[in-house]
Structure 1
Amino acid sequence: MNFKTDTTLPIGVFDSGMGGLTVLNALMQLLPNENFIYLGDTARLPYGTKSKDTVIHYSYNASKHLIDRGIKLLVVACNTASSVALETLERDFYPVPVIGVIQPSAEMTLTQLPEGPIAVIATEGTVKSRAYTQTILKQSPNREVIEWPCSLLVALAEEGWHSGPLVEDIIEHMLTPLWQQLDNPAQKALLLGCTHFPVLKSAIQKVIDQNTIIIDSAFSVADAVLARLTANNLVNQQSTCGKIQYLVTDGIERFQRVGKFFLDSRNQVLSPELVSINIIKSTQT
């Protein structure tokens, strides 16, 4: 692959839908001078209920679309894709740097909670991969980690259902069996293992106990991106604010309506471009 180390090239960010906008929001705050191109593969949402091979296939094609447009670094802002497809993307698109969300999220959790049990709520695909458990236990072998599937919350977030009694009732119903399995020490962590979940953080906070730290790790991913850009001499040196381009594979109107909540900017007008992704098989699947 012909990789051009042009510092003005955009950083590519992709997710199965709008959840990755929470990571993009953190990236824009930490790296305001960088250019970004965001791809939400909304036509194939959700990734979290798909098979491993299907997720790798979707992730490969979404990533290739961004790389073909010209990017200097790829952020896989999807926990499901990061948990099963990251190794494939790193190999197939080398030497373009690829950063997932699992490792930075795990490291941030261990920093904020040096000891005590960790609950991870995520999609079915992420939970089945046990990526968080494996990553956390490598650094903290005796830690109690429970990964819990909550794919329904992705649908709530994508529909713009972020608060209110009904949302809180659904969250409480889904998390009650999880709390019953965890030890009950002075403090525990709840890691939001899906980039859609931060928009539900306030609702989640209302139904969990006060001894639980909620880990929203978008800024840890942004820190990892900055570190990689610096190490590879790819930091954009321009003094003006960067440009943002949005791409979706379906549902422009929904993206415009709901996406602003993920970006924490209700006044922002989103103008995504509708794109079609070529279907090509990865060499690694």
Structure 2
Amino acid sequence: MKFSRLLAVLALAAGLSGTGASGAGAAERVRVGILKFGTVAWEMDVVRANKLDAANGVAVETVDLASPDAARIAFQAGEVDTIVSDVLWAARLRAEGKPVVYVPFSAAEGSVMVASGAPIRSVGDLKAKKIGVAGGPLDKGWLLLQAYAKKTAGLDLAREAEPVYGAPPLLQQKLESGELDAALIYWNFAARLEAKGFRELVSVEGAARGLGAEGQVALIGYVFRQDFADAHPDLVKGFVAASRAAKALLAGQDAEWTRIRPIMRADDDATFAALKRRFVEGVPSRPIAEEARDAAGLYAQIAAIGGERLVGPAKTLPDGTYWQGK
């Protein structure tokens, strides 16, 4: 896998929690907002530990943030230069006159999980069932699942099932206790359930392919302000290359996984293996043009269900949403 020459990355003002690359000297820095135990933290740890930033003229500095909402606030306030968010949010900002560019981070998405012995064998079997939904009624995975159920089973999940919205840890607990029939839950929680013997009914990726996507679509990615990307093109290019190099290491070296295991919160080998496998399976590998084409098709279907509350004024994916650097 070839990676462009790096020239970029992260800085942060005093008072915010961060870790810089040692010996980066005159290298530009970019501040990356992360959740302490999130998968972006895994990747940034690999970048720093292997000096992928310093080796490529880049200085990475991470800023710990408490939640996805806090990350979005910090990004919009200019306290960090980039965060990982979803392509819907990036598109909405762009449509509202706050231009940003989006770089795919991961195609690992959520899954509908059920107990191994549950009689639920297809999306159609979710009729009249109590379904836990992480992320709320406008979560992209939930909207894609609704569109998929409508297309393949003629089922209106929002009306003909009983969605229960909640935080992923709570939904995992309720599914394990039998209080839920199924749960649409983020991929890392799905991996933990898989390790406990639960079964995947359908993944968000599977739903996306059922709706016309020709391959994996990374629905979460790094978001940069357009003016920042325009002013620092080599920085963004370098950061993206460092990110890709870290993913390549994780895809090919078991030793790296062993090293970062403490921050993965994988208490047993089955959970560790499931988290590792699902992360690697989600590493983006498609050309940006193909990603953008499939994302545009999915966006239109999600927007039709979520409406203006979800996507704002943009009924189609705005031109220029995807970063076109090499």
TM-score w.r.t. structure 2 length? Answer: 0.36
TM-score w.r.t. structure 1 length? Answer: 0.40
